[in-house]
Homo-oligomer: A and B are copies of this chain.
């Protein structure tokens, strides 16, 4: 948790409504940090559906393995999240630690261990002493209440400079349902310390399989379209919980993601995911610029994504943006190295709406002074037109600053 808030932080933090069936509580368990909360317990009503997507890392953390295994039942009654220690690459100790945490939580909440979901973020490779949760989780289960969303978002922060929450209220059938979400970033997003964690809660009555389908599709153009440094955490976890409490005031029970009644909900759900994903980019380690990269005219959307990610992850592009330099030569370089179909002589590139290159060369109308001025903005939109097809995609990233190096060069010490 940094003392300096990112200059890209949203100006407005939404009021987070309660979600029927969800209660939250946080505590100082002393995992690693002093004088701040570092453990979150979310207690859900019996019957809550759960869905999840996780890191693609071949070396996932112990909590990721735990959640993957427990997801099969589709039912959840509690979520325990700690910051300060990722319980990743901790071998047998790590597995023992997740099992003990689940046991303590299940006792505290009064449910089966298989309905406990876990996430940890922080240092990798340090054993997590789960006995620290003993007592703490019991007290949290008793004190949990429906309104502490911002406190919850704060307890899961690591190098984040601001808590990330988003909310939407929408009609499902004739009933109003609510979606609340929280997330933490802040490096290693595409994510030792960082790790992307996000938790979404709704009172909509959506069956586990439908919720899973919704989540899987929803992340594609939101969380999966954000990159800070191209590194991928061992711990990335996005869980969605649907308590179903809105059925009590008439919301229809949804069993398939393709149910036409889900249309407005789906849009709102994706909106919450997109909002949180953008906040993660806005809080990239050392970030001073939010960068949106749009690639159009590619052969396919997948090809556009690959090229956009190549640009977004290029250290040379990211340092140029940090230096407020519309260095489109580096964008060409990043297009070229993506390995996807591209024709240099059809390429056009613009920065914040000003075209600097077209048809494979500098745009003759390109005014360096005008572009230099535009590059001072805190939000930079890079648009690349390939002129080959109809494939289009968009990803978000941030610039690469000396502060990123300072944060990550001094982190463990």
Q: Mark A residues whose CB is within 8 Å of B.
A: 55-60, 86, 88-94, 123-127, 187-188, 192, 229-234, 313-316, 319-320, 322-323, 325, 327-330, 332-342, 344-345, 347, 357, 359-362, 400-402, 404-406, 408-413
Tell which of B90, B188, B315, B339 touches A230, judged by Cβ atoms closer than 8 Å.
B315
A333 in contact with B57 given A125-B357, A231-B316 (CB within 8 Å): yes
- The answer on a CB contact under 8 Å between B231 and A334 is yes
Chain B residues with CB under 8 Å of A341's CB are 58
Tell which of B58, B357, B410 touches A340, judged by Cβ atoms closer than 8 Å.
B58
The CA-CA distance from A177 to B408 in the complex, in Å, is: 49
- The answer on a CB contact under 8 Å between A192 and B327 is yes
The CA-CA distance from A177 to B357 in the complex, in Å, is: 48
Chain B residues with CB under 8 Å of A322's CB are 405, 409
> Which secondary structure characterizes the binding site on chain A?
loop
- The answer on a CB contact under 8 Å between A91 and B405 is no
- The answer on a CB contact under 8 Å between A336 and B229 is no
Chain B residues with CB under 8 Å of A412's CB are 320, 325, 327
The CA-CA distance from A123 to B332 in the complex, in Å, is: 12
- The answer on a CB contact under 8 Å between A91 and B409 is no
Copies of this chain per assembly: 2
The CA-CA distance from A376 to B8 in the complex, in Å, is: 35
Chain B residues with CB under 8 Å of A90's CB are 360-362
Chain B residues with CB under 8 Å of A187's CB are 315-316
The CA-CA distance from A329 to B319 in the complex, in Å, is: 25
Chain B residues with CB under 8 Å of A126's CB are 362
**Closest approach, in angstroms, between the C-beta of A278 and any C-beta of chain B?**
21
A332 in contact with B409 given A125-B361, A315-B315, A357-B125 (CB within 8 Å): no
A234 in contact with B336 given A408-B319, A409-B322, A412-B325 (CB within 8 Å): yes
The CA-CA distance from A229 to B334 in the complex, in Å, is: 12
Tell which of B56, B338, B411 touches A323, judged by Cβ atoms closer than 8 Å.
B411
Tell which of B58, B59, B332 touches A88, judged by Cβ atoms closer than 8 Å.
B332
**Closest approach, in angstroms, between the C-beta of A69 and any C-beta of chain B?**
15
- The answer on a CB contact under 8 Å between B56 and A339 is yes
Chain B residues with CB under 8 Å of A410's CB are 323, 325
- The answer on a CB contact under 8 Å between A339 and B413 is no
- The answer on a CB contact under 8 Å between A125 and B345 is no
Known interface pairs A58-B337, A402-B406; 8 further A-B residue pairs with C-beta atoms within 8 A, sorted by A's residue number: A89-B360, A93-B361, A94-B361, A124-B333, A125-B328, A229-B315, A325-B410, A325-B412
Chain B residues with CB under 8 Å of A94's CB are 361
- The answer on a CB contact under 8 Å between B58 and A336 is yes
**Closest approach, in angstroms, between the C-beta of A404 and any C-beta of chain B?**
7
The CA-CA distance from A234 to B334 in the complex, in Å, is: 9
